[in-house]
Copies of this chain bind each other. A is one copy, B any other.
Amino acid sequence: MKKLSIKDIAQKAGVSTATVSFVLNGKAEEMRISDTLAKKITKLAKQLGYQPNQLARGLRTGKTHTLGLIVENISNHFFGNLAKVIEDEAKKYNYKVLYCSTENNTLKAKELIQMLQDRQVDGYIITPTEGLEGDIEKLIAGKKPVVLVDRYFANLTTNYVLVDNYQAVFDTITRMVGEGYQQIGVVTVDLAMINMEQRMNGYKDALKAAKLPFRKDLVKIIPFDASREKALESVAEFLDGGPKKDAVFFLTNYLGILGLECLKKLKLKVPDQMAFVSFDDHDIFRLHTPSITALAQPVEDIGRTAMQILLEEIKNGLKNDAHHLLKGELVVRESAL
Task: List the interface of chain A (C-beta within 8 A of B).
Answer: 1, 3, 51-56, 58-59, 64, 66, 73-77, 80-81, 83-84, 87, 96-101, 114-115, 117-120, 138, 141-143, 257, 260-261, 264, 283-284, 286-289
Contact = CB atoms under 8 A, between A and B. Distances in A.
A59 B55 contact: yes
Contacts of A119: 54-55, 66, 96
Query: Which residue, A64, A83, A287, has most C-beta atoms of chain B within 10 A?
Result: A287
Contacts of A143: 1
A83 B87 contact: no
Interface centre among A1, A55, A101 (most CB of B within 10 A): A55
Q: Ordered nearest first, which 5 A-B pairs have the shortest CB separation?
A: A75-B84, A80-B80, A75-B80, A289-B289, A1-B142
Contacts of A3: 142
30 contacts: A1-B142, A51-B114, A51-B117, A53-B59, A53-B118, A53-B120, A54-B120, A55-B55, A55-B58, A55-B64, A56-B59, A59-B59, A66-B119, A73-B84, A74-B80, A74-B83, A74-B99, A75-B80, A80-B80, A84-B101, A96-B115, A96-B119, A98-B98, A257-B283, A257-B287, A260-B287, A264-B287, A264-B289, A284-B284, A289-B289
A101 B87 contact: yes
Contacts of A289: 264, 288-289
Chain copies in the assembly?
A: 2
A41 B53 CA distance: 32
Contacts of A56: 59
A100 B87 contact: yes
Contacts of A80: 74-76, 80
Contacts of A66: 119
Nearest to A119: B54
Contact of A120 (B1, B55, B141, B261): B55
Nearest to A257: B283
Contacts of A138: 1
A54 B80 CA distance: 27
Nearest to A117: B51
Nearest to A79: B80
Given A97-B99, A261-B287, A284-B284, 7 more contacts: A51-B114, A55-B59, A74-B80, A76-B80, A96-B115, A96-B119, A257-B283
A97 to B, nearest CB: 8
A282 B206 CA distance: 35
Nearest to A263: B287
Contacts of A99: 74, 83, 87, 97, 99
A119 B119 CA distance: 11
A166 to B, nearest CB: 27
A76 to B, nearest CB: 8
A98 B233 CA distance: 38
Nearest to A94: B115
A9 B80 CA distance: 41
A21 to B, nearest CB: 16
Contact of A52 (B1, B64, B118): B118
